[in-house]
Structures are given as structure tokens and as C-alpha cells.
Amino acid sequence: MANDRMVLVTGGTGFIAQHCILALLNAGYRVRTTVRTLAREGEVRGNLRTGGVEAGERLSFVTADLGADAGWPEAAAGCAYVLHGASPTPSGDQVREEDWVRPAVDGNLRVLRAARDAGVGRVVLTSAIGAVAMGHKPMTRPFNEEDWTNLEGDVAPYQKSKTLSEKAAWAFAAAEGRGLELTAINPAAVLGPVLGPDYSHSIRMIKTMLDGMPGCPKVNSGYVDVRDLADLHLRAMTDPAARGERFIATAGDSLWMIEVARLLRQRLGAAARKVPTREIPNTVVRLGAAANPALKALVPFLGLNLNATSEKAVRRLGWSPRPREEAIVAAAESLIRHGLLAD
């Protein structure tokens, strides 16, 4: 049944945000989204068109930045729900740890204040598995929603920002929310079909493998298709069972990067001819990290099993994600289809 209520989706240029916008428009909602500059409106609309939706007047844009108060009251006005996923990501622009943490924490609080003051019913926060599974000693069970990243351990700045910003959101909702409902989604690596050249940092890993790399570091991750993640956001937005809860989003057990490489070579044939076939020892990665920032960023993840369970989302919200293999292959095939690989 059509539903013309307005939903605010923050960070409309983002990969996850655009798939959430597609899901909302297909479900009959009207959508308002924030961008840092209106110059990117055409790009967003074009990507949605690639996803099969001509948004037209059902989609509107507001200029707002996580680092400033301006625009957020206007963005939230008249909205029934907010899907908030805008956050600093590993783009290479960050220099200090504060460059990650402060915008993420302050941005969450700005959005939550605007939502509360506008009378929004519920905010669904896109957090990350990085707020759940980092900094722990090896575990024999999958991570679940009761777990929080141990900030006393070896935690990279991005994962620290997701942990501190999610905790700040929960603290705000409890102390200052005045009835505003909050739900958090903690996805593993987000794959699935890209809509254009601006996509998630997780998909950059698939691109790097397809473009050719010396070998696979011993890093582990769960995977979820962005279309299923968008579906979970919509379920969490309206289901009473989601109020005040966290939900991990991952499809099946985690995989080591070398297992992903084997899957790509098996499923894509000649298109995956540059995908590596060997695993790089941890000692080699650590040696190279001294001179290579990309390798340095991997060191906290070496040998760490990030296996987690989505049993809670399946049981409480009826969520049914497609297999992880489909998410991986869909990402690779879309990179090829859009001509986004190196020559």
C-alpha cells in the first residue's frame, strides 16, 4: 500500500543511502536527503535512475554538513522517520584521529537533536560492525549485539569513530531524546551492485582484487548485500520490535580475503584473471606497513576473525538476506558493467 510520509535520509551521495532511498521510493514514501552541495543532485538522481527509479518530485534535497548546525532543522522538519548514515569514511582525507571521531560524534548529535525537535518518531542509525567486533582477544563464538568494540585494544580510527558516535547516540536518546526512538544497524562489509563511480570502501577491496594485487592479506570480514541492508533499515524504521535495539547485518559466516578471491575466480572466469591466488604472510604485511599507509591500516585486522551473527534481525524483524556469495559477485559484476576497473 502506498505511503506518502516523508523520510529523511542523510548523506544522499552515499552508496548505502542511495539504496535506502531506492527502497523507500519503491515502498511509496517521499524522501528528503541531505548533501553538502546541491551540485551533486543530478549525480544522485542519475544513480537512482540506474537503480530503476525516476524519483521526480518524490525526492527533495537540503544542504547540510555534519560539521555545522545549518540545514539540519530544515532537513528534519515534517519527517516521520530519519535514516542516518552520513559519517566520515576511509577516504584518505583524514590526518588525525580527531578528524574521524569528532565529525562522527557531533554529526550524530546534530541529526538527533534536529529529529527530536522536529517530532520525528524514530531514527535508524547506520553504525558498523566496527562498533561491535574490534579490539577483542580471539573469540570462539560469533559476535552479537551485546558486544561493543574494546577501545582499549588495537582499534583503527574509523572503527573508533563508529563506536564512539554510536555510544553518543544511545546516550543522547536516553538522556535528551524526550521520546525519540532510536535503532542502530551494524553492517559487516557492504557489497552488492554499485550505481555509479562513488561507492563504499568495502567495494574498493573488490575493485583492487579485480584490478590485480600481489596477494591477499590475512583479513576476515562478514558481507551483506546493500539491497538487503536497505531492506533491514526499512524494517527497523517501522517495526515496534526494533525500538531501542541494535541489529547486526551480515549474511552467513565471515570469509577470509583469500576465500573471496577464490570465489571471484570461480564465478567470473576470465574477468577475474588478475585476482590474486596466494595469501600474504602477516609478517610481510607488517614489514610493508612502515612505508605503505594502506598496509598500515590493515595491521589491526591481521588474523582477526570478525565472524558475527544476524540471528536477532532474522528472528525479530523477519529479515532474510541473500547469500554472501551473491553480494560479492553482484559487486564485481557491477564494477565490470559500469567500466570502473583499471584497463
Burial 35-70, CB ≥16 within 10 A → b, else e? bbeeeebebbbebbebbebebeebbebbebbbeeee
* CA 44 to mean position of chain CA atoms: 17
- Is 162 noted as a catalytic residue in this protein? yes
Amino acid of residue 8: L
Helices (H), 212-308: 226-238, 257-268, 282-289, 293-298
> What residues contact residue 128 under an 8 Å CB cut-off, 6+ apart?
159, 162, 186, 187
Annotated active-site residue in 137, 162, 274, 312: 162
CA distance linking residue 247 with residue 312, whole number of Å: 7
Q: How far apart are CA 319 and CA 245, in angstroms?
A: 15
Residue tagged 547469500 (cell numbers): 323
Spatial distance between the Cα atoms of 216 and 333, rounded to a whole number of angstroms: 20
Q: How far is CA 161 from CA 49, 96, 156, in A?
A: 32, 12, 9
- Residues 137, 305: Cα–Cα separation, whole Å: 10
Which residues are known to be catalytic?
162
